[in-house]
Amino acid sequence: MELKEELKTKLIEALNLEDVTTADIDDNVPLFGEDGFGLDSIDALELIVLLEKNYGIKIKDPKEGKNIFKSVSVMADYVAANRTK
C-alpha cells in the first residue's frame, strides 16, 4: 500500500474517525484547524504515538508536530525520510 494511503488508514483508526474513509482525506488538506480536517491537540498527541508505534519515529517536542502534521502529504514525506521501521 502506498505510504499516503497507509497513513490515512492508520489515522482513521487511531483517531476513531468513524464517518471518514481514506477517499475523504485529501492529500494536501490541512489536518488541523477549522479550515482543515478539524483535528485537535489530543489528536496531535495521538499522531505522535502513531508515528513512534508504526514507524519508530520519536518526536520529543510536540511543537514539531505543527510542521509534520500539516497534511497527509507532508506527513508521508517526513515518515519516508525518518522512519526506522
Q: Which residue, 2 or 18, is less far from other proteins as judged by CB? A: 18
From residue 21, alpha-carbon distances to 25, 30, 48 in Å are 7, 16, 21
Least distance (Å) between residue 48 CB and other proteins:
8
Contacts of 12 (CB under 8 A, 6+ apart): 20, 21, 22, 25
- Three cell numbers written together for 49: 504515538
Cα dihedral 10→13→17→23 (10° resolution): 40
Instruction: Build a one-symbol-per-residue string for 16-35: x at contacts with other proteins by CB under 8 A, - elsewhere.
Output: xxxx----------------
Which member of 24, 33, 36, 45 binds other proteins (CB under 8 A)?
Answer: 45
Q: Which is nearer to other proteins, 2 or 85 (CB)?
A: 85
Interacting residue ranges for other proteins, rule: CB under 8 A? 14-19, 38, 42-43, 45-46, 49, 52-53
